[in-house]
Structure formats: structure tokens, C-alpha cells
Chains A and B, each alone.
Chain A
């Protein structure tokens, strides 16, 4: 029975076990004096500190601040990325015109633009949202582009044989066919947007998880800092999982049913 359960959920069980193992190792390594808690704190201290920060409301404040910027940046990146991606995927000229910018985006680290945004928008949310927007934009744009551009020629031809006009082909063939690829782009974008928000918050913010991390980091309060790091990790996993779930829902037609 237990063995059967194990085999069925092997990946999940092993993953959980290794997580528990690492946390236990962390706790034991510090308790036995193997590692100085100053550098890494301990799981038990972090848990206690988490409860404290939870009760005084700072967890809620920081998560809310980070999620606010995250939602704006991802939302903007999704709208701009999908619209531009659709245009570039459908009209080769648009793709050529946008190409150099995408090139820059790929070759230059986005954070390098940070001081520029500070000069334009000042310290605070607009700059954070702008940086995170740039982080998230590329995969969403690139995936939408490739989805539309690689529209199945046979399907397009079949549609034309029934008298489909270019707009029909775009709406009924290219767009629905691209949804799974676009969802994959959004999933990547979610991770990028969160990274962008936290990185920008490290540099200049008055709330948010990234802000809390630098703030306590500079005060050398490792335990308090670890609380926010753990929250960022959990948040990232959670958000990406939601998108992965949506992704599998939208591309059920692409895979064999008896998988």
C-alpha cells in the first residue's frame, strides 16, 4: 500500500523528503556549532521571527507592496508583450523593426538601466514597476511572436480553402494555436517579474520584500532577513505553479490523452 503510494507520487515524495532533509541539516548544522548562526540563522529562529513579523503586520505590508508592483509590471508586460508579439508574428516588417531592441534586451543586463529609470521616475514604485516590466517583457513577447509566426501552414491552407480571410486565419487558427506557447511565455514572465521587483526593491524602496531583505541585511539581522527571503522563494514557487497549472489546462489538445 505505502509502497504503491510511493511509486505513484515518487517525484513529489522525493522532492518533499529532500526539502525536509535540507531544513533538518540546516538546523542541526547550526545547533551542533558546525555553522555560525550569524551567517544563516536557523529554521526554528526563522519560524519564530516569521510569526512575530506576521503578527505585527510587516509580512502583510511587505508582501502587499511586492505583489502590487509585481501585478502592475506583469500586467503591463503581458499586454505590451502579447500585443507586440502578435503584431511582429503576423507582420514580418514589424518583427524586423523591433529586432534591434530585442537584441539589446538579450545582450545587456536589464538592471543596468536602473539608474536611468531613477533619473526619470525617482526612487519608488514607478521605477520598480518599470524595471520588472522590462524583466518580464522579453519572454512574453518572444513566445507570442514565435507562436503566431509558426502557425501551422497546413491548417492555414485548409482554412483558406473554406474561404477564410486573413483576419479569420489570425483569429481562428493562429491565435488559438499560439495560446499554449503564450502561456509558457507568461510563466517565464511571472518568474522574471518577481525577480525584477525584488531586485529593484533591493536598491530603493520603502516597503516590500526586497526592501526588507536589504534593510535587515545592512543591520546584520540575519534571522529577520531570512524571513523575507523564504517568503520570496515560496511566493515564486506558488506563482509559477499557478501558471504551470493554467498552461497544462490550455494545451491539453497538444498532448496524447493516454499520457
Chain B
């Protein structure tokens, strides 16, 4: 059985002013195997972040269900940890304090908190910076702390919501390679939301392409590029093919969006 099983998922929002009901995600079904790296890609407003937050248990479902290892999701749980996009680190805590935060919240009982935190900080390559505060770190380093904080609680599933979205292209590429290195050692199931096509292909075993109005899954693409991966695969034939396919999907979404704007 798959580790994450999403069935007929629908999430509606009520717009605060008009009281209009608006469907962010509808009829989504998806299974993710244990240890799989799945990226979710789509243009903005396709509900990809909402879907991820639903798996995290931070958004309530209107229809359908999400199960993890056969257990229904009805809130955050220690089997999942989230890496958020931007400054979701506590600015008044040091790197170590931040990595310990999740452990404190979950009343970690697996030994010394400091030791566990330091282990994770070294894993993401920030050993020398454990006493620094977030404002003293670069954007890339901050996201490493975010990843360390999530891995520290030893979740079954790692959920990442455009974690490198605020980084420049070069740092982003480095972080992608870094993430794969860490993931291959940590052996976690990963769900990774992005709007960057190259990132989506580079990281994935499986790419979920989403479309808009309401957010739905357009296609699930298997990626058979060999692992471990490095930047060299960006030039491979298969990578180009995948990129072309994803571009076509997103272009379709873009043109339908323009049409809506013209009509409006």
C-alpha cells in the first residue's frame, strides 16, 4: 500500500467579503510510495500549496480524505514535517534554538535535544553557525536551518512548500543538489511544491502537474533519470523532453488565464 493516499480531495474557501464559495482544489487523487520524491508543479493559483498544507494537516478538507500509512489526517502530526517558503524561523532563537523548536513542541523523547539538533545542523552543513541568529545568515543558509528543523523531528514524510522560492537562481541550484544529498541519506518520503520546471524535474521521481480553476491534477509524470543526480543531467536528452512537456502544460494554463482576463 502507498504511504500517502489522497482520495477525491476537495477544498473550498469562503471569500471573506462576498461570502462566495471558491474551490481551491477539487477531485484530487494521488498515491505516493514510501521513500519517493514527488514534486508538485503548476502556475500560481493552481492550489499546489493548498494541497501540501492539507497533507500537513494545516488546512481542513471539504471533501475526500488523506491517509498516511493508513491513518486519516485530521491535523498536524509527528509523522510529517513542513519546510516553509520564507522566514518561518524564530528570529530571536539561534540556529540551534530553531532546530530544537520542533523537538520541544513534540516533547521529543529520543535523547538529548542539543545533541539531536547539532547532528541535524551538521547534516545540512551549518556546524560552524549553530549559535548564529537567522538575521545573520543568508537566504540559502536560512533554508538549510528550515530543512534541519523539519528533519530533526524524524518525520516519515517531508513536506516542502517552495522552500527555495525566495533564493537567486544559482543558490537555488546548489540547494537543490544539497537537498538531494540530504534526502538520499535521510530516506524520507518527500512532497515538494515548486513553480520552477527545472527544479521539479531535477528533484523528482514523480512530477505532479497541476492546473487551475479549480486546482486539479493534469498529469503525473514518472522521471527515470538515474540517481544520484548532479547538474550534468540538466543537459540530458530526457531532461529536455520532460522540460518541453511541462512547458506545454504551463503555457496552456497561461493562455487560459489570459483569456479569462480579457473576458473580465
B76 A176 Cβ-Cβ under 8 A: no
**Binary flags per residue of B82-116, CB closer than 8 Å to A gives 1, else 0:** 10101110111000000001101110000000000
Judged by DSSP, the binding face of A is: helix
Alpha-carbon gap, A255 to B58, bound state (A): 31
**Residue B72 is within 8 A (CB to CB) of chain A in the complex:** no
Chain B residues with a Cβ under 8 A of chain A: 56-58, 76-78, 80-82, 84, 86-88, 90-92, 101-102, 104-106, 133-136, 153
Q: Dominant SS at the B interface?
A: loop
**Shortest distance in angstroms between A34's beta carbon and chain B's nearest beta carbon?**
54
- A154 & B101 in contact (Cβ 8 Å cutoff): no
Of A163, A172, A255, A256, which is in contact with the most chain B CB atoms at under 10 Å from its CB?
A163
20 more CB-based (< 8 A) A-B contacts, given A154-B84, A161-B81, A172-B101: A157-B58, A158-B82, A158-B84, A159-B101, A159-B105, A161-B56, A161-B57, A161-B58, A161-B84, A162-B101, A162-B153, A163-B78, A163-B105, A173-B90, A176-B90, A176-B92, A179-B92, A253-B135, A255-B135, A256-B135
B195 to chain A, nearest CB (A): 19
The size of the chain A interface, using a CB distance under 8 A, is 21
Q: When chains A and B are docked, how far (Å) is the Cα of A182 from the Cα of B242?
A: 54
Instruction: Check A257/B136 contact, CB under 8 A, given A154-B88, A155-B88, A158-B84.
Output: yes
**Closest CB of chain B to A207's CB: distance in Å?**
43
| A-B CB contacts (within 8 Å), total count | 61
Q: Which residues of B contact A172 (CB under 8 A)?
A: 90, 101, 104-105
Instruction: Point out the residues of chain A lying under 8 angstroms from B153, CB to CB.
Output: 162
Of the candidates A155, A160, A255, which one forms a contact with B90 in the assembled complex, judged by CB atoms under 8 Å apart?
A155
Complex Cα–Cα for A168 and B103 (A): 13
Q: Indicate if A67 sits at the interface (CB-CB under 8 A).
A: no
A163–B76 CA distance with the chains assembled, in angstroms = 6
Chain B CB within 8 A of A210 CB: no
**Which 5 A-B pairs rank lowest in CB-CB distance, beginning with the nearest?**
A158-B88, A162-B102, A162-B105, A161-B82, A253-B92
